[in-house]
Amino acid sequence: MKQPETKKETGEYLNGLDLLDKISDITRIVDPVKKRVIRYHNSEIDVEEIRCFDFWGKNKVCDNCISMRAYHENTTYVKIEYNKDKIYMITAVPHSLDGRRIVIEILKDITNSYVLDFKNDAVVDQTIHMLIDNMNKLAFSDSLTGLYNRRYITEKLPVDLLNTALSSTHLSLIMADIDHFKKVNDDYGHVAGDDTLQNAARIFTGCLKRESDWIARYGGEEFLICMPGADLEAAKKAAQRMRQALEDAVTVFEEKEIRVTASFGIYSPESTINESVEELLKHADEKLYQAKRNGRNRVEY
C-alpha cells in the first residue's frame, strides 16, 4: 500500500502546479472605494488612472460590487458577471497592504465551463445575462418596494461621497418618512400598509429627474434619496415634487381610498471633503425630525 505523502512532498507538488494560473485569468488589486486599480511594485503602491468597473464596459459603478462588500466586511465574496460574450466568476479577497485595506480580485473566464441544455447559442447568452442581472439586482433590492436596500446605502454612499469630494461637487441627501404610517396599518391592515409603501416608492422614484440620483428604503416607512452633484436648491425642488405628488396620490385597497403625506429632511453641505457617511445620515435625519416637529407634510433643510 502506498504511503501518504509527507507535508514536504505535498507542498512541492502544489508549488509545481501554477495554481494561480489555473484559477485565474485576470488578477488585479483594487481600491473599491476610489474604484481604482492598484499596482504594487518595488514595495510601493501606485493607483492607476483606470476605473475598476471599466473592464465591464458599463461605464458606471457596479450596483452589486462584491469588492466593496469584501472591503467593508473583511470577508471573501464571489459572484458571476458578464462582459459582452464572456462569463466570469469573480472572487474578491480583502487584504492588508502597507497599513491600508485593498481587495484582490480574481477573475476566471467560465464561458465554456457551465452546462445548459439550449440549442440556440443566442438564447443561452440572453438567458445567462438575464439571470446574472437578476441575481445582482436582488442582492441590493428591497423585497417589498423594489428600491435599493440598506446594504446598498452602506456600499454606494461612501463611493458617492468620495467622488464628490474629489471632484469638488455637491452631494445632497433627502430623508423621507411617511406621516402617521402606524395609523394606516391599524386602520386598514398591514397588507394595505405594504401597498401604500409600494405606491410611495413608485411616486418618489418618478419624481427623480437625474440618472445619477438613487433612492433606497432606509427602514420601515423611511426612505433615503441620494443626489450626487446636486446642490441644496436642486434637492429642495426634488423633495417638494415628492411631497406634493404623494399628497395628491391615492392608494386604493379593497375599494377603500388611502391618502398619506410624508415629511422630508435635506442635508446638503457646501463641501463634502470633511464629511463622513455617518455625519451625512445624522444631519439628514435631524432635518427630517425637524419637519416632523414642525407639523409634518413639509420639507426642512
Mean pLDDT to the nearest integer, 140-144? 91
Write out the three cell numbers for 71: 472591503
pLDDT in tens, 224-250: 999 999 999 999 999 999 999 999 999
User: Pick the catalytic residue: 221, 222, 257, 278?
Assistant: 221
pLDDT at residue 136 is higher than 80: no
Write out the three cell numbers for 224: 433615503
pLDDT for the residue numbered 221: 98
- Alpha carbon distances (Å) from 29 to 10, 12, 193: 29, 27, 46
Q: Which domains does the chain have, with CATH numbers?
A: 7-139 (3.30.450), 150-300 (3.30.70.270)
pLDDT at residue 2 is higher than 60: no
pLDDT for the residue numbered 10: 45
> What is the arrangement of strands in the sheet containing 262-267, beginning at the earlier edge strand?
214-219, 222-228, 171-178, 262-267, 299-300
Mean pLDDT to the nearest integer, 102-121? 74
DSSP 148: B
Instruction: Report how far Cα 36 is from the mean position of its chain's Cα atoms.
Output: 17
CA gyration radius, the chain? 24
Write out the three cell numbers for 142: 428591497
Helix and strand numbers (H, E) in the chain are 9, 13
The closest alpha carbon to 265, from 224, 301, 297, 240, belongs to 301
pLDDT in tens, 36-53: 888 765 556 666 778 888
Q: Where does 45-180 have alpha helices with state H?
A: 66-73, 121-139, 150-167
This prediction has a pTM of 0.74
Cα distance between residue 242 and residue 63, in whole Å? 24
**221 has catalytic annotation:** yes
pLDDT in tens, 47-88: 677 888 888 887 778 878 889 889 988 899 998 888 877 889
Write out the three cell numbers for 160: 458617492
Mean pLDDT to the nearest integer, 135-140? 73
Query: pLDDT class for 163, splitting at 50, 70, 90?
Result: confident
